[in-house]
Amino acid sequence: MLADSARGFLDDAAPVSALRHLRDAGRTHDPDLWQRICGMGWAGVLIPEDAGGSDMGHAAAGMLAHEMGRTLVNSPFLSSAVIAATALRQVADARAMDAMAAIAAGRTTYALAIDETHKFAPEATAMTAGRSGNGFRLSGTKRFVIDGGFADRILVLARAAEGLTLFDLPADRAGMDRTALNLIDGRDAARITFGNVEATGDDVLGQVGDAMAVLKPALEAGQAALAAEMSGLAAGAFDMTVGYLKERKQFGRPIGSFQALQHRAAHLWCEIEVTASAVLNAGRVLDGNPGEAALAVSLAKARATSTAQLAVMEGVQMHGGIGMTDEYDMGFYMKRARVGAEWLGDYGYHAEQVAALRGI
C-alpha cells in the first residue's frame, strides 16, 4: 500500500519530465515538491513518533526510495530523512529530538560532508579538528557533498586528537565556503572548504573521538536506501525499455518479438528481481538486527550498482541510436546510475566489504 501510494503521487507530482524541466531551468531541486513530500510524512519515516515522525523503519524507507528512483526524483530524502535522521537517532538527546522534528516537518535539511578524495573512505579522513580552548577549529575540504549546495545544516566528519569526531554545524557558520556543483545527473552537490571553522562541544554529535558509533548506522541506512533508489532506477529504465520494444517496429514487426531482444530483457528482469530481494533484505536486517546489517547492506549496494548499470546500458542499446540522444529520457537514468554508483561507496568498495565479512 505504501509503495502504491508513493508511485501514484510521484507519477503525478514528479515524473521524469520534471527532472528535465529542472535541468533546463538550471535548478537542482524543487523546494515545493519537498514540502509536499514532508506533508505526506515521508521525511519522518525513520524518526520517532515523539519527534513528529512515523517510525516506520528502514524497509519502508527503502520502498519510498525505490519509488523515487523510478522517476529520478531530486530531493534531500536520503541526506536528511535517512542519513541525518539515523545519525541523530543514535544520540536522541533533547537537541537531537528537536533536530529530527525539524527534519520531519520540512523545516531543516541536512547534508553529509564525509568524502575528501574521489573515493569513499571515511576511516581515512584527514580533515582536522584541532583543540581551541573548550572547542575546536575545523580545517580541510570536503568534496561530493550531496545536497550540500542548499542544505541548512551539515554533518561533518573530522579527525580530533582523540579520533574521528562528527560535528553538526549550520551551513552558514563563519569560515565555511560552499561551492555549489551541478552533477551530471542534475543532483545538487557541493565542495565545502573549512577555514579554521569554530565548533563548540555542543556541535559534537555523539562523543569526541567516537564518530563511527553514530555515523556507521547512518551510513548503512543511507547505503541501503541508496541501493533501493538504484533498484527503482533499474526498474524504471526496464519499464521504459520494454515499452519501446513493444512500440518500435522493424521489418513490419515490433522489435520485442525478436527472440534475441526477449532473452536480453528476460535476463535484465531476473537481475532486477534478485536485486530487489537483496534490497528488501537489507531493510529487514536494519530493522530487526541493525548491529549485524553490514553484510546485507553492502551486498544490496553492490548488486544495485551492478544492476542499475546493466539496466541503463541495455536500455540505451535496445533503444538503438536514439538512446544516446537527449530527446529520450534513458540518458537521465544512465547519468543517475553513474552518480549513485559512486556515492557512499562504489561496487569495488562494497564487494570488498562483502568478501571481508564472509571471510574470503
Side-chain-side CA neighbours of 67 within 13 Å: the count stands at: 21
Q: How far apart are CA 19 and CA 47, in angstroms?
A: 28
The yes-or-no verdict on residue 182 having pLDDT over 90 is no
**C-alpha to C-alpha distances, 69 to 15, 237, 340, 351, nearest whole angstrom:** 11, 10, 10, 22
CATH no., domain 2-109: 1.10.540.10
Could you tell me the residue ranges of all domains in the chain?
2-109, 112-210, 212-357
Q: Are 212 and 308 in contact (CB under 8 A)?
A: no
Q: Are 297 and 223 in contact (CB under 8 A)?
A: yes
Closest CA to 128 of 155, 153, 154, 164: 164
Residue 346 — very low, low, confident or very high, per pLDDT cuts 50/70/90?
very high
- CATH code, 112-210: 2.40.110.10
Q: What percent of the chain has pLDDT over 90?
A: 95
The CATH number given to 212-357 is: 1.20.140.10
Say if residue 213 is exposed, middle or buried (CB neighbours under 10 Å; 0-12, 13-18, 19+). Answer: middle
List the beta bridge partners of residue 163: 160
Q: Do domains 112-210 and 212-357 have the same CATH topology?
A: no
Strand ranges for 280-342 from DSSP E: none
Q: Give the model confidence (pLDDT) of 225-280 as tens digits.
A: 999 999 999 999 999 999 999 999 889 999 999 999 999 999 999 999 999 999 99
Cell matching residue 291: 548491529
